[in-house]
Structure 1
Amino acid sequence: MSFEIHVTGAAKAAVDAHLPTLITDLVASGITAGDGTLWGPEAEEESSKRLGWVQAVTVSRPLVPEIEALRAELVAKGVTRVVLAGMGGSSLAPEVIAQTAGVPLVILDSTAPGQVLAALDGDAEAGGLTQTVLVVSSKSGSTVETDSAKRAFEAAFRDLGIDPLERIVVVTDPGSPLDVAARADGYRVFNADPTVGGRYSALTAFGLVPTGLAGVDIAELLDEAEASLLEVAIDSPDNPALVLAAAIAGTSPRRDKLGLITDGTHIVGLPDWIEQLVAESTGKNGTGILPVVLLPVSPEVENKPDDLQIVRLVDEAKKFHLFEHHEGEILVSGSLGGQLMVWEYATAIAGRMLGINPFDQPDVESAKIATRALLDARPEPTPPAFTVEGVEVRVSDPELAASRTVAGVLDALWKRLPADGYVAIQAYVNRLELPQLLGLRELVAADSGRPTTFGWGPRFLHSTGQYHKGGPAQGVFLQILESTDVDLEIPDRPFTFGQLIQAQAAGDAKVLAEHGRPVVTLTLTDPQLEVLSLFEAAQ
């Protein structure tokens, strides 16, 4: 399936205005050639060593037989359940790849104790932990979430008399702390290309090892990506990456919110991967593009805010039915491998158009530092401004709590929205137990009247968290936490999973408030019961 893109309205005007310059400046061929000067002198040191993803298909080919051989070895021993411990791009890309292929892959990208326990306990029909292999993915090799998961699985395997060395596979950069320690311990290690940033790593070992072990035809995925390489490498009006970049970054006045809608495409979950790629790459220096994952019937689709550009992911962009109903939208179709490659090129090109470095993440570390400080000091939790019907309410500004009702606090938060603002819902809960929380996004979007994003914590800290702090000061933030008796020790660590996720939420709230972003934190003391009252308040 070739990649197709159809643009109309403001998006087409943006393409007409910017495409000739992108072609004249040889941007596409420059990226393909590894030209680190394309993003300006300040970005050159970083960008010049972060373009390895352009060669990912070629570099990753030798991994395929190695991964397939390991899968065959595991299956022969009855090990058929694959769990992936990773964060950000190293979990979101495999999730899309596995879901689209219809292959089961358990994603553990949370520190919620209940969710970790569910990954450890497993599905009885799938054999549970006795038939499980854990893939630990961390580019830096020092990610606290994946390190904690690895420790928990090691202990659980040993409790069952299983040698962790036979059941844990590591994916990391060469020379990282995890690489050094894992090799010294005797674990099976796959090294990824160190010239590829985490969010651009879909077609590297980070995307291929867990999905290949789960049973995805990863050779076919690479074939799909390879088929798009010639299209994205040429300086031509037909280059879909140039067209897409111009359409999402070049509108005038600029539409800095990007609505992503899945509408009939065979690819499952692609907007979540695009969200982390675009938000973390562009959200810095007070600018950026904010992806907003939407349903075809979301309030934003009906209201069409002036600053929202809709991208509709379909199966045949140039033959999509009822074009007249999608005037002004960007219609995109293609194979999964083609989508991954085109969006990576387009995001890097959009970064050039915005005048930023699309390969760094200067504001991600701030929340990690705040988390570590809270774990070290272990202060008493900040008392709530008030508690009503089992919901504890904390606010970054006392004026937000003046109403003493949840509905009133939410209304006060919406009033802090600028005309070009957005709402970010951040749910630090066990999403296996509270999946219905995702529906809160639709209610908040309707109630606030502005584009609304939804992120499961702490996953989003490794992606959209960069935009929240480094992007435009337009956002207001609603944290949802849960109070639960379920907790789990982290072996050889002085804190539990429950304490870790609480510190991550509090640390991010602290950093957001320091950046002048209004934050409301609602803690559900009886989550299953109080989620209903939360939905009522949001209406």
Structure 2
Amino acid sequence: MVVYRGRVERGGAVQTMADGGTTSVIQPAAPARVSLAGVLLALVAVAAFVPYIMLQMSGAGIVFSAVTEGHVPFWLGAALAQLAEAGRDKVTFITEPGLASLGDWLEQLLAESTGKQETGLIPIVGEPHLAPDGYGADRVFVGIDLALQPHPQTEALLDALAAVGHPVLRSRLWNTWELGAEFLRWEVATAVAGALLGINPFDEPNVQESKDRTGRLLDGFVKTRELTTPPPTAASELVLASGVTATSVPEAIERFLGEVRHGGYLALLAFADPTQEVDRRLREARRLLLERLGVATTLGYGPRYLHSIGQLYKGGPAGGAFLLIVVEPRADLPIPEVPYTFRTLFLAQAFGDYQALADRGKPVLLLRISGDPTQGLDWLLQHLVTAAAR
């Protein structure tokens, strides 16, 4: 049994929602792109169910209950769309440890499907937790847990978030055998939300931007045997900065963080080998920035994030700021049948995405670490503490 419940704030009114039915979640390894079957189901949803749901949501004080199992994804999609239009577009997933990796799949589904035409749902996955009153009014929380593996800490946090007025949607699964049904349920919900937001949830118009810029960089390398790199605007012994004019790298960091908007979000984009040492430092940087700046944060490794949440970064809602950290590989391998190596391809993908974000006028700071990654990241953490405190 799953219960979705929450509060939608519209003007001065607060509307309570509740819904029930059997549900589940989906394995994160499955491709997140919506299938043809999903398209057909979405058309049915938009044509038959969404008007009814939206009519109910438009009525003051309506309580949702006794909705049949088949209606859950349509209600969920409609709720997410209305919350986003009310300013709560940061869909923050809080899962118990046994389902933590599910967030990666949901991140790709929501971001790739809805992040376009300057609108969309911004998935927040794996973020450290704040006190319930430390979150802004741009959040909606989605809790997913297993009935057979209760996690009291997650339960307490979700209850506390609801108690201070945040919308909280809760999904309780009996066991992991129910994972398959949630795959379809979230795909339909995402299609419904996209339709109500006025976008096509089945295309990805901005993913190609980074690919095109990467291709041009590689073409230039083939001709000149030299990879064009973003011109540095500041330098230190360990780090080169690009994208923000400054007299030093710490000043560039401080100026960049000054561009992070309240109600926006900060994306940490790491082109680095995700070793335990590197990952721990990046997660610490995320925690620090979340606590000091009070905005939603994302963390992703490149080039993976280009195909999961990269569409949203280019085409989604305004308000994102992008800290791109590139740890230049110290080893290299050839790629069969092409005239460049894996190191060159890796850097071209990073620089191509930086250029795509910069060309769109997004606040973006590129930091290149050429030496020991742990030393470079320790240096960065030290200066983030100072910059974020100002």
TM interval, shorter chain, is 0.7 to 0.9
Whether 2:295 is the aligned partner of 1:450: answer yes
Alignment correspondent of 2:160: 325
Q: 2:200 aligned to 357, 376, 381, which one?
A: 357
Distance between the aligned counterparts of 1:466 and 1:485, measured in 2? 29
Task: Select the residue among 292, 306, 309 that pairs with 1:464.
Answer: 309
Q: 1:447 to 1:279 in 2, by over 3 A?
A: same
TM-superposed CA distance for 1:429, in Å, is 0.7
**CA spacing shift, 1:290–1:517, aligned 2, 3 Å:** same
Aligned ranges 1:114-513 → 2 under 5 Å: 199-200=33-34, 235=49, 237-238=67-68, 239-251=71-83, 253-263=86-96, 266-295=98-127, 297-299=128-130, 303-316=134-147, 321-322=155-156, 324-327=159-162, 328-334=167-173, 335-378=178-221, 379-395=227-243, 397-398=244-245, 401-402=246-247, 404-406=248-250, 408-432=251-275, 434-436=278-280, 437-513=282-358
| Percent of residue pairs identical | 33
Q: Which deviations, in whole Å up to 9, do the C-alpha atoms of 1:97-148 show, x marking residues without a partner?
A: 7xxxxxxxxxxxxxxxxxxxxxxxxxxxxxxxxxxxxxxxxxxxxxxxxxxx
Q: Per residue, is there more helix in 1 or in 2?
A: 1
User: C-alpha separation between the residues in 2 aligned to 1:288 and 1:368?
Assistant: 22
Question: Matched residue of 1:521: which SS?
Answer: strand
Report the secondary structure of 1:500's partner residue: helix
| Residues 1:537 and 2:368 aligned together | no
Q: Match of 2:4? A: 6
| Distance across 1 between alignment mates of 2:211 and 2:93 | 28
Please give the alpha-carbon distance, in whole angstroms, between the structure 2 residues aligned to 1:321 and 1:367. 40
Conserved 8 A contact 2:332-2:341? yes
SS at match of 1:392: strand
TM-superposed deviation, 1:95: 5.2
1:198 Cα offset (Å) = 5.6
1:344–1:336 Cα change, 3 Å: same
Contact 2:5 2:17 in 1 (8 A): no
SS of residue in 1 equivalent to 2:323: strand
Q: Structure 1 residues 472 and 483 mapped into 2: Cα distance closer, same or farther (>3 Å)?
A: same
Residues 245-270 of structure 1 show CA distances to partners (whole Å, capped at 9, x for unaligned) of: 12322126231111111135x43401
What's 1:528 paired with?
A: 374
Q: Per-residue displacement from partner, 1:271-298 (whole Å, max 9, x unpaired)?
A: 1110110011001111111101134x52
Aligned to 1:30: none
The structure-2 alpha-carbon separation of the partners of 1:244 and 1:475, relative to structure 1 and needing over 3 Å to count, comes to same
Q: State whether residues 135 and 294 of structure 2, in contact with CA within 8 Å, keep that contact through their aligned partners in structure 1.
A: no
CA 1:331–1:5 in structure 2 vs 1: closer, same or farther (change >3 Å)?
A: same
Q: Report matched runs for 1:77-88 at 5 Å.
A: none
Provide closer, same or farther for how the CA distance between residues 353 and 307 of structure 1 changes in structure 2, counting only shifts above 3 A. same
- 1:418 CA drift (Å): 2.8
With over 3 angstroms needed to count, the CA separation of the structure-2 counterparts of 1:314 and 1:268, relative to structure 1, is same
Paired letter, 2:211 = K
Looking at structure 2, the residues matched to 271 and 95 of structure 1 have their Cα atoms a distance apart, in angstroms, of: 7
AA partner of residue 299 (structure 1): L
Contact 1:11 1:247 in 2 (8 A): no
Match for 1:519: what amino acid?
A: V
* Equivalent position SS for 1:250: helix
Q: CA deviation at 1:385?
A: 1.9
Matches within 5 A, 1:26-41: none
Is the CA contact 1:441–1:452 (under 8 Å) kept in the aligned structure 2?
Answer: yes
| Structure 1 pair 299–388 and aligned structure 2 pair: CA distance change class (3 A) | farther
Task: State the shift of 1:14 in Å.
Answer: 6.8
Q: In structure 1, the residue corresponding to 2:88 is in which secondary structure?
A: coil
Contact 1:429 / 1:456 at 8 angstroms: preserved in 2?
yes
Q: 1:405 is matched by which residue type in structure 2?
A: V
Q: Partners of 1:458 and 1:472 in 2: how far apart? A: 22
Gaps of 5+ in 1: 20-92, 98-196, 205-230
- Partner SS, residue 146 of structure 2: coil
Alpha carbons 2:32, 2:106 under 8 Å: kept = no
Could you say what the CA RMSD is over the residues aligned between the two structures, in angstroms?
A: 3.2
Instruction: String of CA shifts for 1:492-522, please: whole Å, max 9, x gaps.
Output: 0111111111111111111111111021111
The 1:367/1:234 distance shift into structure 2, 3 A limit, reads: same
Contact 1:300 1:445 survives alignment (8 Å):
no
The alignment's TM-score, normalised by the length of structure 1, stands at 0.56
Distance 1:310 1:321, change over 3 A: closer
Contact 2:332 2:343 (C-alpha < 8 Å) held by counterparts: yes
**Which residue in 2 is equivalent to 1:140?**
none
Displacement of 1:447: 2.6
SS at the partner of 1:10? Answer: strand
C-alpha distance in structure 2 between counterparts of 1:475 and 1:482, whole Å: 22
Letter in 1 for 2:137: D
The Cα shift of 1:457 comes to 0.4
| Aligned position for 2:61 | none
